[in-house]
Amino acid sequence: MDKKSIKGLFVLLLTCLVIFAGCGKSKNKGPLVESDAPSKVYVEPGKYDEFYAFVSGGFSGQLAVYGLPSGRLLRVVPVFSQNPENGWGYTEETKPMLNTSYGFVPWDDSHHSELSMKDGVPDGRWLFINGNNTPRIARVNLSTFRTEEIIEIPNSAGNHSSPFITPGTEYVVAGTRFSIPVENRDVPIESYKENFKGTLSFLKVNPSSGEMDIAFQLITPGFDYDLSHAGKGPSDGWFFFSCYNSEQSYSLLEVNASQKDKDFILAVNWKKIEELVAKGVGKEMPASYVHNVYDDKKHSGTSETRKSVKVLYPNDVEGAMYYMPCPKSPHGADVDPTGEFIVGGGKLATVIPVFSFSKMTKAINEKKFDGDVEGIPVLKYEEVLAGEVQQPGLGPLHTEFDDKGYAYTSMFVSSEIVKWKVDTREVVDRLPVYYSVGHLLIPGGDSKKPWGKYLVSMNKITKDRFLPTGPELSQSSQLIDISGDKMKLLLDFPTVGEPHYAQAIPADLISKNSLKIFKIEENAHPYGIKSEKDARVERKGNEVHVYMSAIRSHLTPDNIEGVKVGDDVYFHLTNLEQDWDIPHGFTIMGNQNSELLVMPGETCTIKWTPKAPGIYPYYCTDFCSALHQEMQGYMRVSDKNSNVQIKFNSNQGK
Ligand code: RUQ
Ligand code: CUA
């Protein structure tokens, strides 16, 4: 949610909140839930949830995984931010994953999680998530729940309309929120109109490995490209990007970018552009961006810099891009399950415009244009509009769909979810949420076949929903039953970071493929060992490599001598366990790095540079066994000039 741009209305909302909060010391904030609500969210001990929900972390930069309907937090998957809890971004193996053309970037702002799809339906293989600040897209493998790829997006700034995907996971997209000079260079900001451009990047996804590669980049007028969704069914082959600031202002946007009555949704015929590119249209532009891949046999990431990107301008792709006028500062651009309707969420609009794909193609064929922007024709609003949802509420942002022909739109300002019928656009139900919803999710809710049943409202303001925890409150999500005619509130649950978008999928599509261990015989880590007897310490100049094993309940070697002040010591810890859920951890006194948390069959490396002579205990940090506290060892560090030789003990003969 772009809070600033709707400040005025927001103030109004706050006033309402104040009035609301002040109007009673009642303990019941909002409607009481119905008496059957507890049984609908209660997941018996030992039983599993029905859905996995993958919730973007917003400013945490991570991805959180919850069970629905319980709202239980199952896991936080580190993506763009370092995580000392398990060493992500601290270990030698994972540091390359956070490399960018700006150097090592330990944080990002992740807004949208998007599941891979097959035939327009989430298939549970991968999850894509955007890094908003340092433009990147990450891919998480849903059998390991680990980030295995991060690719940077050149010529982009504020990678917000991303990483939405096509129905067959052919492409993920990355549209820039901030227009900037392409290529980026030193120009006066006042030269915005002349020099600043938007870019929409299409990344090809390898169907077997999932690996991404920037296929082409469209250079577009200098607007703010906010959100997007792919067409499906009849509209498969098209992509729809909402954009605001068609005023092209570069200061006081909350006022200056709200001047026009309508901004746009940009319709892009990617299939047509794909054909043009195959014919050689477009040109390579020098660019520098980084592609990082994690190999789960080598248990290591590698980072590679790429040097050019294929760009196309509007006049290269004539007949493949059209602007549809959309009231007013649109945010969400959502396509219904049939693929016929495109819903715009105008943050400041009083209606929800619903565009018709068939009318759009007709208008294109009949050239029903209202001029153009830098060569991109603008279609006439009435010619592409199916109709408007009247009086939906205030501040429509995002729309998801159920399996019964209904749409659900989040209303930030009036703080409610509004249910309406897609084909008639008539509002049939509304439910207040607490408070100020941003995105909402329905399992499969942006796909061809939504599973429906639940809706999660991800609210931006928590206020009085939970016990106070000082000035900072965790964000609140609300689970809503949408199986009947009327929406019913079931549950509030706190979430980590600041969730923006999230997606959910039936549990068995993921759980059946979930990996339990890494096979030790497949461990191809260059410093990995296959058994305790291979454990050793080697000196190479001032580098000391400790090939260490961990297995209940011993770290081998557990005594090391001959390390000197100023040495770079690399602890390569291999967990020899081959049993599910038996990690071992590692740390050493004074370690100015994170811990290691090593899964069965895996090898991880932490670098340590001792600064003073002495004895340094190390130990396993994960309570792995009855003798976990015995899983310890000593490192002797000698003076720089000492002649103590490398010496260590192994566990042989024990
Ligand atoms: S969002 S402000 Cu409404 Cu998707 Cu990021
Ligand atoms: Cu291994 Cu505790």
Q: What percent of the chain has pLDDT over 90?
A: 91
Rounded to the nearest angstrom, the distance between the alpha carbon of 537 and the centre of ligand 2 is 21
- Asked whether the bond before 167 is cis by omega within 30 degrees of 0, the reply is no
The CB-based long-range contact list for 283-289 (8 Å cut-off, 24+ gap) reads 283/310, 283/311, 284/308, 284/309, 284/310, 284/311, 285/155, 285/183, 285/309, 285/310, 285/311, 286/183, 287/154, 287/155, 287/183, 288/101, 288/154, 289/100, 289/101, 289/151, 289/152, 289/153, 289/154, 289/214
Q: What percent of the chain has pLDDT over 70?
A: 95
CA dist., res. 87 & res. 146, Å (int):
13
Q: Whose CA is nearest to atom 1 of ligand 2?
A: 584
Rounded to the nearest angstrom, the distance between the alpha carbon of 208 and the centre of ligand 2 is 36
Rounded to the nearest angstrom, the distance between the alpha carbon of 438 and the centre of ligand 1 is 7
Give mean pLDDT, residues 129-150: 98
Q: What is the pLDDT of residue 651?
A: 62
**pLDDT tens-digit map of 637-654:** 999 999 999 999 986 544
Asked if residue 15 has pLDDT above 70, the reply is no
Asked if residue 26 has pLDDT above 90, the reply is no
Q: Whose CA is nearest to atom 1 of ligand 1?
A: 1
Q: What is the pLDDT of residue 33?
A: 86
Q: Which run of H or E residues covers position 371?
A: strand 369-373
Give mean pLDDT, residues 338-356: 94
Among the bound ligands, name the one nearest to the CA of residue 132.
1
- E strands present in 416-465: 416-421, 427-432, 437-441, 454-459
Q: What is the pLDDT of residue 164?
A: 98
- 502-524 burial, b at 16+ Cβ within 10 Å, e below that, comes to bbbbbbebbeeeebebbebeebe
Pocket test for ligand 1, best of 224, 242, 439 (most atoms within 8 A of CB): 439
Rounded to the nearest angstrom, the distance between the alpha carbon of 146 and the centre of ligand 1 is 24
Rounded to the nearest angstrom, the distance between the alpha carbon of 598 and the centre of ligand 2 is 10
Amino acid at site 619: Y
Q: What is the pLDDT of residue 30?
A: 65
**pLDDT tens-digit map of 197-217:** 999 999 999 999 999 999 999
Find the Cα–Cα–Cα–Cα dihedral 75, 77, 83, 89, rounded to 10°. 150
Banded pLDDT at 347 (limits 50, 70, 90): confident
Q: What is the pLDDT of residue 544?
A: 98
Q: What is the pLDDT of residue 31?
A: 64
CA dist., res. 237 & res. 461, Å (int):
37
Asked if residue 114 has pLDDT above 60, the reply is yes
Token pair recorded at residue 333:
């651009």
Tokens 């068939």, located at residue: 358
Closest of 280, 269, 274, 282 to residue 309, by C-alpha: 282
**pLDDT tens-digit map of 158-186:** 999 999 999 999 999 999 999 999 999 99
Residues with Cβ < 8 Å from 261, sequence gap 6 or more? 327, 328
- Asked whether the bond before 434 is cis by omega within 30 degrees of 0, the reply is no
**pLDDT tens-digit map of 366-397:** 999 999 999 999 999 999 999 999 999 999 99
Among the bound ligands, name the one nearest to the CA of residue 396.
1
**pLDDT tens-digit map of 266-301:** 999 999 999 999 999 999 999 999 999 999 999 999
Residues with Cβ < 8 Å from 485, sequence gap 6 or more? 428, 429
SS3 at position 249: coil
Token pair recorded at residue 301:
């990431």
CA dist., res. 476 & res. 304, Å (int):
39
Q: Are 138 and 148 in contact (CB under 8 A)?
A: no
Among the bound ligands, name the one nearest to the CA of residue 3.
1
**pLDDT tens-digit map of 147-158:** 999 999 999 999
Rounded to the nearest angstrom, the distance between the alpha carbon of 102 and the centre of ligand 1 is 24
Burial (CB < 10 A; 0-12, 13-18, 19+), residue 120, is: buried
Rounded to the nearest angstrom, the distance between the alpha carbon of 628 and the centre of ligand 1 is 45
Q: Whose CA is nearest to atom 3 of ligand 1?
A: 1
Q: Whose CA is nearest to atom 2 of ligand 1?
A: 1
DSSP 58: B
**pLDDT tens-digit map of 218-246:** 999 999 999 999 999 999 999 999 999 99
User: Residue 617: beta bridge partners?
Assistant: 634
Give mean pLDDT, residues 477-492: 97
**pLDDT tens-digit map of 56-88:** 999 999 999 999 999 999 999 999 999 999 999
SS3 at position 565: coil
Rounded to the nearest angstrom, the distance between the alpha carbon of 240 and the centre of ligand 1 is 16
Atom of ligand 2 nearest to the CA of 629: 2
Q: Which residues' Cβ are closer than 6 Å to ligand 2?
A: 550, 584, 620, 622-624, 628, 631
Q: What is the pLDDT of residue 652?
A: 54
Among the bound ligands, name the one nearest to the CA of residue 623.
2
DSSP 88: B
Q: What is the pLDDT of residue 4?
A: 47
Atom of ligand 2 nearest to the CA of 628: 2
CA dist., res. 55 & res. 494, Å (int):
12
Q: What is the pLDDT of residue 35?
A: 87
Q: What is the pLDDT of residue 20?
A: 42
Q: Are 570 and 593 in contact (CB under 8 A)?
A: no
Atom of ligand 2 nearest to the CA of 623: 2
Banded pLDDT at 346 (limits 50, 70, 90): confident
Give mean pLDDT, residues 593-617: 98
Q: Are 153 and 202 in contact (CB under 8 A)?
A: no
Pocket test for ligand 1, best of 224, 459, 500, 503 (most atoms within 8 A of CB): 500
Give mean pLDDT, residues 10-16: 44
Q: What is the pLDDT of residue 320?
A: 98
CA dist., res. 228 & res. 115, Å (int):
15
- Output helix, strand, coil percentages for the chain, rounded to the nearest 5: 15, 45, 45
CA dist., res. 475 & res. 412, Å (int):
15
Among the bound ligands, name the one nearest to the CA of residue 158.
1
Q: Which residues' Cβ are closer than 6 Å to ligand 1?
A: 1-2, 111-112, 160, 227, 331, 397-398, 438-439, 500-501
CA dist., res. 403 & res. 401, Å (int):
7
Rounded to the nearest angstrom, the distance between the alpha carbon of 563 and the centre of ligand 2 is 24
Q: Are 184 and 155 in contact (CB under 8 A)?
A: yes
Residues with Cβ < 8 Å from 499, sequence gap 6 or more? 55, 56, 57, 58, 64, 438, 439, 458, 475, 477
Residue 653 burial (CB count, 10 A): 4
Among the bound ligands, name the one nearest to the CA of residue 551.
2
Rounded to the nearest angstrom, the distance between the alpha carbon of 592 and the centre of ligand 2 is 21
Rounded to the nearest angstrom, the distance between the alpha carbon of 510 and the centre of ligand 2 is 29
Among the bound ligands, name the one nearest to the CA of residue 628.
2
Atom of ligand 1 nearest to the CA of 397: 3
Pocket test for ligand 1, best of 132, 177, 227 (most atoms within 8 A of CB): 227
Amino acid at site 10: F
Atom of ligand 2 nearest to the CA of 584: 1
Residue 256 half-sphere exposure, CB side, CA atoms within 13 Å?
8
- Asked whether the bond before 163 is cis by omega within 30 degrees of 0, the reply is yes
Tokens 């250079």, located at residue: 219
Cα 511 from chain centroid (whole Å): 20
CA dist., res. 450 & res. 122, Å (int):
9
3-state secondary structure 192-218: HHHHEEEEEEEEEECCCCCCEEEEEEE
Residues with Cβ < 8 Å from 313, sequence gap 6 or more? 218, 219
Rounded to the nearest angstrom, the distance between the alpha carbon of 129 and the centre of ligand 1 is 13
Residue 79 burial (CB count, 10 A): 30
DSSP 629: G
CA dist., res. 98 & res. 291, Å (int):
10
Average pLDDT, the chain: 94
